[in-house]
Structure 1
């Protein structure tokens, strides 16, 4: 009697963990609280949404304008829009783009240095560095303030543009 390969691997397929579906918040002036499953991705789009995330999220994207986000940890945080505010405990990678966004978090590198990329205008970013970090800034009138934990080296910095300020506090 021959047994097909699907029959042999069926128990393995059934035992494989299912990836958690992405959390998607779309709309205007919504307020939501979510618990991320380990590494779950989140996308917030629209305008003026208030979102609170607990647990370890994967990639968290804030797209649009006027959003407010509080979070525990994320592998990556992308803030792309206007007048968005995000506050959290820690991320591994951070992207801030477009205009007038405010972000406060700690940078916690994994296997590679944490990466921060700021582009656009009039952003305010406040970071606590928990390990090696690379900062790239472009655009105009952006402000990035950083502090480092004990024994953590200052970040590697690359900057261009007009009236950008990167300072230690």
Structure 2
């Protein structure tokens, strides 16, 4: 018995339909609240205020002057200038360009979480809940970290000028 065209299309499209659409915020000065259900989030432009509830995929913040809060993400990448990202829990963290402020709890999966900081004048506050690899380059970046007594200290690599990494 041959499957009909509608049955074949339903079989082929099922994985595509099951995948959630990504969340994208662009432009200038948007103020938005979203509930994530595994979606990736892309924020670009200038001056957005975004509150993300639930469990997000990868969060990418590009541009300047954004304020982003989140409960959970698989990873956080911030580039541009004067962005603020405050969250609950995330996996890997990447911070680039200048004067960004990040505060989050970092968890590791099967491999250590990777924290990569470059650029200048960032202020980063992290709570580590498992193994982590920290790499800080650029100039005048501050990374403060804490961890429970049972969490092994992260491996740390630094380069650049006047960077400060402190265990609190």
So what's the TM-score if we normalise by structure 1? 0.92
Aligned to 1:136: 135
Matches within 5 A, 1:6-155: 12-13=11-12, 16=15, 18-37=18-37, 39-155=38-154
* Matches of 1:32 and 1:51, distance apart in 2: 5
* Matches of 2:5 and 2:152, distance apart in 1: 53
CA drift at 1:149: 1.9
* Matches of 2:132 and 2:165, distance apart in 1: 14
CA drift at 1:147: 0.5
So what's the TM-score if we normalise by structure 2? 0.93
CA drift at 1:150: 3.5
Partner secondary structure for residue 45 of structure 2: strand
CA RMSD of aligned residues (A): 1.8
CA drift at 1:122: 0.2
**Structure 1, unaligned runs of 5 or more:** none
Higher strand share: 1
Q: How many matched pairs?
A: 167
Partner secondary structure for residue 119 of structure 2: coil
**Structure 2, unaligned runs of 5 or more:** none
* Matches of 1:156 and 1:149, distance apart in 2: 16
* Matches of 1:113 and 1:5, distance apart in 2: 48
* Matches of 1:76 and 1:48, distance apart in 2: 21
* Matches of 1:33 and 1:9, distance apart in 2: 38
* Matches of 1:33 and 1:7, distance apart in 2: 38
Partner secondary structure for residue 139 of structure 1: coil
CA drift at 1:30: 1.2
Partner secondary structure for residue 167 of structure 1: strand
